[in-house]
Amino acid sequence: MGSGKSTVGKKLAQALDYAFFDSDKEIEHKTGVTIAHIFDIEGEAGFRRRETAMLAKLVQKKHIVLATGGGAILAKINRERLRDNGTVIYLKTSVDTILRRTSADRARPLLQTEDRRGRVQLLMQQRAPLYEEIADYVIETDQRTVSSVAAHILDDLCGAR
């Protein structure tokens, strides 16, 4: 959350001449409602079920860049699908940077709390080891522009070919 997955993903897809997909946007498109609304009606568990189903479809596509929701890696099946069907890039971002980048964002259900810092720290404690477990590349995004992050990824990918 707030790492730049969608913004960097779009830039990367453009550079590679691939299609770009954001799993959260795909869920919103399919359901006709926002992620926040799904959380309100179905809770996080309901949203995670929808997310897993959507990822199962999206990872089958070829020549795409896929930005997942920040919690997609919580489910083992999602980690396996992502790892087995593509190159996984973890955009590693500090708590301070996430808080700065999401400070005006009221659409993120998991950040609708009095203690945003505590929530982000908890989420990072839970998620960072899982991201690192499946990542082919770890890219630090603090103090970097979208273009420099995308260029770094392209350099890594081209060097790996």
pLDDT single digits (tens) 113-126: 778 889 889 989 99
Measure the CA–CA gap between 131 and 70, rounded to whole angstroms. Answer: 9
pTM over 0.85: yes
The pair of structure tokens assigned to 10 is 């779009």
Mean pLDDT for the stretch of residues 136-151: 93
Instruction: Please give the Cα distance from 90 to 133 (Å, whole number).
Output: 10
Q: pLDDT tens, 4-13?
A: 899 999 999 9
User: 87-114, pLDDT tens digit by residue?
Assistant: 999 999 998 998 888 776 676 666 677 7
Does CATH number 3.40.640.10 belong to domain 5-155? Answer: no
